Structure 1
Amino acid sequence: MAPGLPAAMDRPHFIGIGGAGMSGIAKILAQRGAKVAGSDAKESATVEALRAAGATVHIGHAAEHLADDASCVVVSSAIRKDNPELARAAELGIPVVHRSDALAALMEGLRPIAVAGTHGKTTTTSMLAVSLGELGLKPSYAIGGDLDAPGSNALHGEGDIFVAEADESDRSFHTYAPEVAIVLNVELDHHANYASMDEIYESFETFAGKIVPGGTLVISADHEGARELTRRLAGKVKTVTYGAAEDADVRVTAVVPQGLKSEVTVLLDGQELTFTVSVPGRHYALNAVAALTAGAALGIPAAELAPALAAYTGVKRRLQLKGEAAGVQVIDSYAHHPTEMTADLEAMRAAGGDSRILVVFQPHLFSRTQELGKEMGQALALADASVVLDIYPAREDPIPGVTSELIIEAARAAGADVTAVHDKAEIPAVIAGMAKPGDLVLTMGAGDVTDLGPLILDRLSQ
């Protein structure tokens, strides 16, 4: 039976409660009986889902939104120090708790699986949550994206397993003490917080060092960054590798595309298992193998978990079909790092056959564009044509000289057909003018580019 409410979190106030990570923790606390309150910048489907779960949500940030009797204030690294609710908490002496500490408290007394890596965390966490649920294990989970509806990114389950996405961006994943940890890949990203690959490796080593005694690290045998981390951790933690590499402990022997699905065959403990992954792309197939390996490390029979993985049919913003109009399919992709962009475009190329691929790409963060703009442009060369928007700043201030033009120049140098569009409102008309029956349109990026899918479909249907 899952534990109850963590001490001192019976009346939490979340600043930025509608965020992907924050909303999940708030939902679980509400389901455990906490009196949850918070604020967010704007109304959203997630905010409505939280209200339906019993939370009080204010729109906008103001000191008066924080109740005097709040037991703690929960924040993420995105919350600025001059936030009025944070200042009010200091005046009242209310403890401030980082999101990761709140999530760690929710996992106490359970068997946590923490999913880390530069790419693929949300998908792999979701695959575990869905497949464990299919087996009747009633897991709790906290995911960085919605499974099938707003607010479906988290659940307080009655079982003893807790599956959590472990975010490396601000080193907050050092807070967790998992029984099983997954590292999908290791690359340089989050340039505002990490200056070098050595710092990234040190951070992941710290994360792996938090695995409880007797626990297991599940890590890719294919990704060079993950292999280097494995070398650095030799003798320090029990490790199980997975992948297509010949030396993988759980070896992928085949990934066969079947339209928008894949059939995957693995060798695990001398046993050959073939199962279906209900989303397209080799990278998603490997995510499923990571989930299978983690479940086996937790003692779940692989022969039972493998077929249960087919129940996962996707998470919002991960190659999510938004609809079809005038013979054109519109698909939403969260990809914002060159590796993710390449993987999703290759998956669409394999699944779409002879279909043309048109991309609406919105770069995310000035710092990421400064460091990886060239590689983003090269990734866009995999599309038949692309439209590039201005940079979505999120939490960052502009950096002089860093614009979408860095990506566009690199894309054109790689032979890509790229158009710059500065006004997002023009995109539906631009795409309607480009698209032909049979085309695939991808809205791609971690910002508000996701909002364009329905607008493009509306324009195509006219």
Structure 2
Amino acid sequence: MSKENKNIDNSEQVLSFGKDLGKANVYFIGIGGIGMSALARYFVANGNQVAGYDKTPSDITRALEDLGVAIHFEDDFDLIPEQFKNRSETLVVYTPAIPNSHSELNFFKSNDFEVKKRSEVLGEITKKTFCFAVAGTHGKTTTTSILGHLLNECNVNMTAFLGGISENYNSNLILNGTEVTVVEADEFDRSFLTLSPDYACITSMDADHLDIYGDASELTKSFKDFTKKIKPKGKLFVKKGLPISGITYGIEDNSDYTAQNIRIEDGSYVFDVKTPKTIFKDFKFNLPGRHNLSNALIALAMSVEYGIPQPQLAKALATYMGVKRRFTYQIKTENLVFIDDYAHHPQEINAVHQAIREMYPDDKVLAIFQPHLFSRTKDFADEFAMALGQFDEVLLLDIYPARELPISGVSSGWLLDKISNPRKKLVAKDSLVEAIKETSARIILTIGAGDIGEEVKTIKKALEVAS
């Protein structure tokens, strides 16, 4: 287990670059979002008064309430604490997932409050620090989490804002100083263009968020625009094969940084890292899947370039425990394995499938998938069908709409028809446990970025009772 996460629940340390925002109160619209809640935790530790709105209660909002954050769940200006209605003392932060019709957001905008997107605030916080930014359509959260853990364990004065809950810290914020920041550079809504990193990496550039970009070429252009945000003496790291120049990294190839001599020992990867100058031997990494190994490699590469010695990095990486909902084992026994993962893009599902087949080559696997967004389902229906069809059995939940309205003809039933595997079924959430009980598969997998994560506890309890 890593050292205790510092200063999350108190304000003993004054975080001076947060004070530069100049407001005593910070009000969040969409405070339950994973990125928003990390910022909220940061401002709590900073000594600001924090409150917010979200659509529904969750483990994240409950954890914030435990820190003293006032949260309500109706779009109602009267429910906002009075001190946050003081225009001169309140910064309002919102997520692009909030609809334009939101009455609280419109009130603040029309009454000349200082209103900023989450990404703009993150840009302000990080601009006076040495900033590591992790970009890519897949792998951002795990890579950021690994990098933050490495730097923290190696006693770097730093803060890491994570897009998931770290298993090491049980938080999406690692807080250990103000000189260095580690952030996810989110391509959604072109948010990453508000950052000015010193070191940046790009893990992947697969087509996604086409509701924002229109086509893949616009997404690629946005990533290239992001590279121009790197500070003049900064460094860019890219997965080998991407159409952008930089320090390359890859698995068993001729990249600048390469993972090689890879083997599995006691369920963990052990591997060497070839750098432009030398070879570092015998790193141990506990997460399964070549995609996760690639994420560990780029976190190591950025840390090496920053100047951290290999022995410290090797010791730190061996203690990394992962991110919740990223290939998270819920049950792991001789007769039953239950894994939960956030995968919501076909390439991410392929990566999870590869990891499971590597670890459990002879076992049957039941995949339970909740599609996320009507637009993503429409844009990648054939790819989703191919990815899901690789599993032995498939259960599909209805599409989680998030910020979207339905699209005519796009449904989970439509997607189900495209899956060639005959062992497939459309189920409602309230019938899910009964459907799972019918399987003979030893491996149960839940995947998706919607509210399927809220079902995991129920599924786990039912499986434990049945076994």
TM-score (norm 2): 0.91
Query: Which piece of structure 1 moves more, 300-309 or 374-383?
Result: 300-309
Secondary structure in 2 aligned to 1:36?
strand
Q: Distance in 2 between matches of 1:389 and 1:174?
A: 35
Tell me, in whole angstroms, the C-alpha distance in 1 between the residues paired with 2:212 and 2:183.
22
Which range moves more in the overlay, 182-191 or 255-264? Answer: 255-264
Relative distance call for 1:254 and 1:325 in structure 2 (3 A) is closer
Distance 1:177 1:321, change over 3 A: same
Could you tell me how far apart the structure 1 residues matched to 2:76 and 2:440 are?
A: 45
Aligned length: 445
Structure 1 residues 245 and 210, CA gap change in structure 2 (3 angstroms): farther
Percent sequence identity is 34
1:96 aligns with 2:146: no
Once residues 422 and 268 of structure 2 are traced to their aligned partners in structure 1, the CA distance between those partners, rounded to angstroms, is 28
Name the CA distance, whole Å, in 2 between partners of 1:430 and 1:150. Answer: 35
1:431 maps onto 2:436 in alignment: yes
Contact kept in structure 2, 1:74 and 1:97, CA below 8 Å: yes
Counterpart Cα distance in 1 of 2:397 and 2:321: 29
1:195 aligns with 2:214: yes
62, 79, 88: which one aligns with 1:48? 62
RMSD: 1.9
Partner of residue 159, structure 2? 140
**Is the 1:23–1:46 contact (alpha carbons within 8 Å) kept by the matching residues of 2?**
yes
Aligned to 2:172: 153
Residue by residue over 1:92-131, the C-alpha shift from the partner in whole angstroms, topping out at 9 and shown as x without a partner, is: 3212101001111221321110100010000000001112
Select which of 446, 450, 454 maps to 1:451: 454
SS at match of 2:399: coil
Can you list the C-alpha shifts for 1:365-396, whole angstroms capped at 9, x where unaligned?
Answer: 00001010111111112211111111111111
Task: Describe how 1:49-448 pairs up with structure 2 within 5 A.
Answer: 49-66=63-80, 67-69=84-86, 70-148=89-167, 152-221=171-240, 224=241, 226=242, 228-230=243-245, 239-244=246-251, 246-258=253-265, 260-273=267-280, 274-324=282-332, 327-412=335-420, 415=421, 417-421=423-427, 423-435=428-440, 439-448=442-451
Query: Counterpart of 1:335 in 2: which secondary structure?
Result: coil
Match of 2:402, SS state, is coil
Give 1:257 deviation, angstroms. 3.0
Q: Identify if the C-alpha distance between structure 1 residues 91 and 195 changes in structure 2 by more than 3 Å, giving closer, same or farther.
A: closer
- The separation in 2 between residues aligned to 1:6 and 1:98, in whole angstroms, is 17
Q: Indicate conservation of the 8 Å contact 1:49/1:150, yes or no.
A: no
**1:264-284: CA deviations, max 9, x gaps?**
222113322220111101110
User: How far, CA to CA, are the matches of 2:429 and 2:33 in structure 1?
Assistant: 22
Bigger mean CA deviation after superposition, 15-24 or 247-256: 247-256
CA contact 1:429–1:459 (8 Å) conserved in 2: no
What's the TM-score, normalizing by structure 1?
Answer: 0.92
Letter in 2 for 1:62: D
Q: Which runs of 5+ in 1 are unaligned?
A: 231-238
- Report SS of the residue matched to 2:189: coil
2:74 maps to amino acid: G
Structure 1 CA distance, aligned partners of 2:216 and 2:225? 14
SS of the residue corresponding to residue 264 of structure 2 reads strand
